[in-house]
A and B are shown apart, each in its own frame.
Chain A
Amino acid sequence: KAGVTQTPRYLIKTRGQQVTLSCSPISGHRSVSWYQQTPGQGLQFLFEYFSETQRNKGNFPGRFSGRQFSNSRSEMNVSTLELGDSALYLCASSKAGSNEQFFGPGTRLTVL
């Protein structure tokens, strides 16, 4: 069974631009969560989607948004990029009713 996949793996943007990251969960998993990982703040929860609905949200500004499609694939968008948005963005999927989250390899975003 294929694991969680994320595209692109690496991305370089400049301040003020916007970016869209994609996540394909493990087949059959309906929950997708997004996390931001930085050296200073560690792993921080962004939001979680289940059945196309945002179910939980972390403490990030409105510039961070996401959505989930009917096939459970998810995208997250960051608008008006800031230098501090440089991070590894991780996506995790889980089965309905299970707490175990499986992570993808992440997208490394660099904002110049």
Chain B
Amino acid sequence: GESVGLHLPTLSVQEGDNSIINCAYSNSASDYFIWYKQESGKGPQFIIDIRSNMDKRQGQRVTVLLNKTVKHLSLQIAATQPGDSAVYFCAENIFPGAQKLVFGQGTRLTINP
């Protein structure tokens, strides 16, 4: 069945370092992928997305890489800040045109001062 998973459930990095959060997906037909950030007590917040016809997309301090060959997605956060501490979810839109996201289990990112 469809599933989106994360390789690491927790990640600790030093403030100012770069962090990489990885995600594997299983549905080769998925055409759209999203990274969300969820802080305690809040709903998921959109970070960055990428369509399946792209390999890389950059935002402000964040970059998403998509490797369709191995069905792998990663989120790179540059120069991490304390405010980056949160749980990060990758999500996969498994039905093109529909609003049905399959989420990974999440990775908790902790920024150490």
**Residues in A lying within 8 Å of B, measured CB to CB:** 4, 31, 33, 35, 42-45, 48, 50, 55-56, 58, 90, 92, 94, 99-106
Are A45 and B101 neighbours in the complex by a CB distance under 8 Å?
yes
- Count chain B residues whose beta carbon lies closer than 8 angstroms to a beta carbon of A: 23
Q: Which of B84-108 contact A (CB under 8 A)?
A: 89, 91, 93, 95, 98-106
Task: Tell which of A55, A104, A106 touches B99, judged by Cβ atoms closer than 8 Å.
Answer: A55
In the assembled complex, which residues on chain A have CB atoms less than 8 Å from the CB atom of B45?
103
A40 → B minimal CB distance (Å): 10
Are A99 and B106 neighbours in the complex by a CB distance under 8 Å?
no
Q: Which has the most chain A C-beta neighbours within 10 Å: B43, B99, B103?
A: B99
B91 → A minimal CB distance (Å): 8
Q: Chain A: interface secondary structure?
A: strand
Are B100 and A48 neighbours in the complex by a CB distance under 8 Å?
yes
**Residues in B lying within 8 Å of A, measured CB to CB:** 32, 34, 36, 41-46, 49, 89, 91, 93, 95, 98-106
A101-B98 contact, Cβ under 8 Å, with A43-B44, A106-B43 = no
In the assembled complex, which residues on chain A have CB atoms less than 8 Å from the CB atom of B42?
105-106
Nearest-neighbor residue (CB-CB) of B105 within chain A: A42
Alpha-carbon distance A104/B105, docked complex (angstroms): 19
In the assembled complex, which residues on chain A have CB atoms less than 8 Å from the CB atom of B89?
42-43
B92 → A minimal CB distance (Å): 11
Alpha-carbon distance A102/B44, docked complex (angstroms): 8
A33-B101 contact, Cβ under 8 Å, with A99-B49, A99-B93 = yes
Are B32 and A103 neighbours in the complex by a CB distance under 8 Å?
no
Are B43 and A105 neighbours in the complex by a CB distance under 8 Å?
yes
